[in-house]
C-alpha cells in the first residue's frame, strides 16, 4: 500500500535525521540512519545506528520500547529504506513487520544493490502503508558520502585548508603556523577523527614531519578517543619518507599506506615495509592519474570519507584546470583573522590555474561557523 504525506511527516523525519547524525564516524561503511516511532501523534521511541556491526536504527528504536506490543499500529519514520537482507544484522523490514507497525515513512530509497527497493516491496507486500521521499533532499545531503561510494566505488573527498583573510596559506618565507586559533584546530582534529583516511604528499611529510592523527581533547583538555583512527595515505611520486619520520616511526601503531609511482627508488621499499608501512604500486607518475588510481583503491577498501591534509601542489592534483574537473567533493575552508600579503605568498591550490572563468569549479555553501575571530566555510561541489 502507498500513502500520501501527512502534515506532521516532515517534523518527525527531521527528528530522525538529527538522530542519524549521531552515528557519524562510527557506522561507516554503513550509512547513518535514524528512526522515530510515532503513535497517536506522540513519539514513543527513537533510535539510530550507533556503530558498525550493531543494531540498525529501526531495531534500536524497537528495542527501546518497554514492551514490543507498544509498536503495534505505530508509524515508523526512517531516513533510509529499511534493509531487507541478512548482513551483520537481520533485515529491518522484517523487524518492522513483526512489530506490527502500520505505516512506514522513508526519506529515500537505498541504492545499495542488496536493498534498492526490496525493503519497500516487503513492507507493501505485508500490507504496510509506505510513504516515500519525505525530506529526500536532506537525506541525500546527509548520506552523500555513502551514496557516492555505492554508486561510483570511490570515497567522498574532503579538502581542508587554513588561509588568511587575504587568501594566503603561508607567508612569502613559507611560514604557516599558526594561521587560525586553537578552536579551529580542535575542529580539524574532530574531522580527522571521523574519516577513514588522511591523504598527504611528500612535500608535507618532508616540510612538517606530521603525525596526521586525531588528537581530540574535551573542554578541560583531557584526551578523548576519536570515533575511528584514520589510515595515513602518502603520495610518493619521486621520493619516499625517511625511516626516522614520524609516519614511519609509528607505522606499526597507525596504518600508513604509501602509494608509489614508477619513479621512486624501489630498493628502499623493503625497509619501509619492514617498519610496518604498506606499499601500493601505481602504474603512472602523472599526479592526476595517481589520484584517480588511489581513490579507486581506497574505495575497494570500503572507505567512505577521506580528507586531504597537504599543500597547494597536492590540492592542485585533485583539480584539472584544463577541463575544470574537480575530484574534491567537500571543502572545509578556515579563514584566520590575519593578513600576510605578498604577491609570491602561496594560495591554497597550485598548478597552472584557470584560463577561462567559465571552467571554474562551482561550489554550494552548506555551513558557516565562527570560532572566536576565525570563520569556517563548508562548501560542497555544486552539481550540474
CA distances from 74 to 47, 68, 376 (A): 15, 11, 41
Task: Provide the grid cell at 65.
Answer: 520500547
Cβ-contact 327, 291 below 8 angstroms: yes
Exposure of 25 by Cβ count < 10 A (0-12 exposed, 13-18 middle, 19+ buried)?
A: buried
Nearest CA to 286 among 308, 258, 259?
A: 259
CA distances from residue 377 to 40, 310, 374 in whole angstroms, order as listed: 41, 18, 10
Length of the chain equals 384
Residue 122 neighbours by CB under 8 Å, 6+ apart: 84, 91, 93, 94, 97
CA atoms within 13 A on the CB side of 154: 14
Phi-psi region of 15 (alpha: psi -120 to 50; beta: other; left: phi over 0): alpha
- The helix (run of H) or strand (run of E) holding residue 120 is helix 118-125
Three-state secondary-structure class, residue 308: strand
Active site residue 58: yes
Asked if residue 186 lies in contact with residue 225, where contact means CB atoms within 8 angstroms, the answer is: no
291: its cell numbers: 589520484
Q: Check residue 185 and give left, alpha or beta (phi > 0: left; psi -120 to 50: alpha).
A: alpha
Q: Is the peptide bond before 19 cis (omega within 30 degrees of 0)?
A: no
Cell triple for 91: 533485515
* Catalytic residue from among 28, 58, 81, 94: 58
Catalytic residue annotation: 58
Amino acid at each position: 500500500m502507498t500513502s500520501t504525506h501527512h502534515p506532521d511527516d516532515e517534523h518527525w523525519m527531521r527528528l530522525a535525521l538529527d538522530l542519524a547524525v549521531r552515528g557519524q564516524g562510527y557506522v561507516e561503511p554503513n550509512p547513518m540512519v535514524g528512526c522515530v516511532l510515532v503513535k497517536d501523534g506522540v513519539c514513543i521511541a527513537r533510535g539510530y545506528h550507533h556503530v558498525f556491526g550493531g543494531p540498525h536504527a529501526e531495531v534500536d528504536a524497537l528495542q527501546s520500547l518497554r514492551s514490543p506490543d507498544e509498536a503495534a499500529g505505530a508509524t515508523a519514520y526512517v531516513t533510509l529504506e529499511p534493509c531487507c537482507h541478512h548482513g551483520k544484522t537481520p533485515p529491518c523490514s522484517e523487524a518492522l513487520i513483526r512489530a506490527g507497525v502500520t505505516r512506514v515513512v522513508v526519506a529515500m530509497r537505498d541504492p545499495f544493490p542488496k536493498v534498492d527497493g526490496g525493503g519497500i516491496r516487503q513492507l507493501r507486500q505485508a500490507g504496510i502503508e509506505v510513504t516515500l521521499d519525505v525530506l529526500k533532499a536532506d537525506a541525500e545531503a546527509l548520506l552523500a558520502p555513502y551514496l557516492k561510494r555505492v554508486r561510483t566505488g570511490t570515497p567522498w573527498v574532503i579538502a581542508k585548508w587554513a588561509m588568511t583573510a587575504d587568501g594566503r596559506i603561508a607567508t612569502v618565507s613559507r611560514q604557516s603556523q599558526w594561521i587560525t586559533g586553537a578552536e579551529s584546530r580542535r575542529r580539524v582534529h574532530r574531522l580527522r577523527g571521523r574519516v577513514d583516511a588522511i591523504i598527504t604528499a611528500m612535500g608535507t611529510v618532508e616540510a612538517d614531519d606530521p603525525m596526521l592523527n586525531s588528537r581530540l581533547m574535551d573542554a578541560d583538555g583531557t584526551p578523548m578517543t576519536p570515533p575511528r583512527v584514520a589510515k595515513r595515505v602518502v603520495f610518493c611520486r619521486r621520493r619516499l619518507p625517511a625511516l626516522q619520520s614520524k609516519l614511519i616511526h609509528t607505522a606499526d601503531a597507525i596504518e600508513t599506506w604509501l602509494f608509489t609511482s614508477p619513479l621512486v627508488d624501489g630498493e628502499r621499499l623493503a625497509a619501509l615495509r619492514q617498519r610496518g608501512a604498506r606499499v601500493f604500486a601505481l602504474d603512472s607518475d602523472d599526479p592526476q592519474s595517481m589520484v584517480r588510481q588511489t581513490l579507486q583503491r581506497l574505495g575497494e577498501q570500503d572507505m567512505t570519507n577521506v580528507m586531504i591534509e597537504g599543500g597547494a601542489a597536492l590540492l592542485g592534483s585533485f583539480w584539472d584546470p584544463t577541463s575544470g574537473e574537480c575530484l574534491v567533493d567537500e571543502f572545509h575552508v578556515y579563514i584566520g583573522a590575519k593578513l600576510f600579503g605578498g604577491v609570491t605568498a602561496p594560495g591554497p591550490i597550485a598548478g597552472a590555474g584557470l584560463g577561462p572563468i567559465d571552467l571554474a569549479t562551482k561550489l554550494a555553501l552548506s555551513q558557516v561557523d565562527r570560532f572566536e575571530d576565525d570563520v569556517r566555510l563548508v562548501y560542497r561541489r555544486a552539481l550540474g
